[in-house]
Amino acid sequence: MAALITANLTLKPLLANHYEAVSRIYREGIATGNATLQTESPDWPTWDNSHLPHCRLVAFIEEEVAGWAALTPVSGRCVYRGVAEVSVYVGAQYRGWGVGKFLLQALIQESEANSLWTLQAGIFKENAASLALHRNSGFRVVGIREKIGQLHGVWRDVCLLERRSKVVGV
Does residue 151 fall inside a structural domain?
no
Domain of residue 36, CATH code: 3.40.630.30
Residues 134, 79: Cα–Cα separation, whole Å? 25
Question: Which residue range is the domain that position 77 belongs to?
Answer: 2-117
Does residue 170 fall inside a structural domain?
no
Residue 162 is predicted with a pLDDT of 98
- pTM score, whole prediction: 0.93
Does residue 60 fall inside a structural domain?
yes
Does residue 89 fall inside a structural domain?
yes
Residue 8 is predicted with a pLDDT of 85
pLDDT tens digit at each of 170 positions of the chain: 344 455 689 999 999 999 999 999 999 999 999 999 999 999 999 999 999 999 999 999 988 999 999 999 999 999 999 999 999 999 999 999 999 999 999 999 999 999 999 999 999 999 999 999 999 999 999 999 999 999 999 999 999 999 999 999 87
DSSP codes, 7-43:
HTEEEEE--GGGHHHHHHHHHHHHHHTSS-S--SPPP
Does residue 36 fall inside a structural domain?
yes
Tell me the one-letter amino acid at 21: A
Residue 7 is predicted with a pLDDT of 62
Q: In the structure, how many helices (H) and strands (E) does the chain have?
A: 5, 7
Residue 6 is predicted with a pLDDT of 57
Tell me 162's DSSP state: E
Q: How many domains does the chain have?
A: 1
Does residue 153 fall inside a structural domain?
no
Does residue 83 fall inside a structural domain?
yes
Does residue 156 fall inside a structural domain?
no
Coil, strand or helix at 59: strand
